[in-house]
Amino acid sequence: MGRLNGDRNKAVITGIGVVSPAGIGSEALWTALMEGRSCIKEIRQFDASSYPCRHAAEVSDLIESGLTRLERRMLSRGGKFACSALLEALHDARIERLEPYSTDVIIGAGHVDMNPVEDEVLSGRDILNFNPEQNAAGLLQMTISMPASFLALKSGARGHVETTSSACASSINAISSAAARIESGMCEIAITGGVDTPITRMTLNAFLKAGQLPVEYADHTRVMRPFDRDHSKSFLGEGSAILILESAEHALARGAKIYCEVIPGRQISENTNVLFSPDEVGESWNMMLDQLLARYEKVTCVNAHGPSDRKIDNLEARILKNLLGARAGRVPITSVKGITGGGMAGAASIQVAAGALMLKNRTITPIANYEFPENEFKGMNFIREPVAIDGGHMLVNARGFGGIL
């Protein structure tokens, strides 16, 4: 991501919409980022009192304005998040009517919404045999491609519609694909981003069983501390960010405001042989970032994956230290997950939205709860307070379970 470099075929962000644990809208997210305020709270969607982990980064004030009565009934929680974010993004971009056949929709999505299954079980209905009382809307709500399909329907887009699913890297891969399609001239506008809603009983239980959530803590707001020497595990999170991408030529022709350019760079590969643990050499991650920095060596700030997991944080820090070389002590590095939690497939969309806001406001926001570095990474510029920047290029990094980059 960076300032527009003069090439009119480049992809630029002209609209941002966010539904996050910080609240509805990009302003709510920006306020939380500037304050370094953790949005981890007690789970309210269901009674989690019997679980060893009872906290998550939950969206607590979803607004359903802009949805018809039918849409409110048919859409999943994630679908409502994405729709709310879409409406804000279109308003922010000042687009009243899209050009249908030159507008693509590419959305990253992860978990199948388990709420319909849990609702059927809790209602006491028979889910093992034919049951005419079963909620048919549950089928749509559990279909992973529905957010993308609905956003196309809601916006009037009639171009390429796609869902990408690659764990926590889902939405950054979607955004990168959208930017690449704009660069290649395949579309003029792309609605892109991601969404995920993993805070359900079944998902919480599964992550606890896998040992991926914190279970012993005094203050839930202080647990997530990316890159800090006391980092351990990540809380679940949820949310959605939708971006309006346009070709620079299209955006300039209509006098649109431009947040920044999006430079596509990704590598979808496997860099582990254990599902929840990274390859500690990080060969694929190294290769991907090395290729990116070979093209854009003037990276001036880093918006890191930083999930507050000791193994993954340390691997990422080690790779960044090697790649940045002598500049590792000067290039500011942040992570938003100490504020927004581990939002799975939607996380990187919020991360990219946050990065665009940082570039627009020329300020890199701090890492929540970061105090002391690991000994190996002393001297690296993980930031504790907001840092002013003069534009430049931001590297946004994401990785998913299973080693997906």
Q: What's the sign of the alpha-carbon dihedral 185, 187, 191, 193? A: negative
Q: What is the mean pLDDT of residues 28-39?
A: 97
Asked if residues 13 and 262 have their Cβ atoms less than 8 Å apart, the reply is yes
Q: Return the higher-pLDDT residue of 368 and 268.
A: 368
- pTM, full prediction: 0.92
**Beta strand segments in 119-265, E:** 161-164, 189-196, 239-247, 260-262
Q: Which amino acid is at 110?
A: G
Residue 51: the pLDDT is: 97
| Residue 326 main-chain phi, psi, to 5 deg | -65, -20
Q: Return the higher-pLDDT residue of 8 and 366.
A: 366
Asked if residues 160 and 104 have their Cβ atoms less than 8 Å apart, the reply is yes
Residue 295: the pLDDT is: 59
Asked if residues 52 and 43 have their Cβ atoms less than 8 Å apart, the reply is no
Would you state the structure tokens that stand for residue 119, as one six-digit string? Answer: 């609702």
Delineate the domains of the chain, giving CATH numbers in brackets. 1-405 (3.40.47.10)
**DSSP string computed for 147-187:** HHHHHHHHHT--S-EEEE-BTBTHHHHHHHHHHHHHHTTS-
Residue 293: the pLDDT is: 61
Would you state the structure tokens that stand for residue 27, as one six-digit string? Answer: 């302003």
Asked if residues 231 and 316 have their Cβ atoms less than 8 Å apart, the reply is no
Q: What is the mean pLDDT of residues 361-368?
A: 98
Residue 291: the pLDDT is: 65
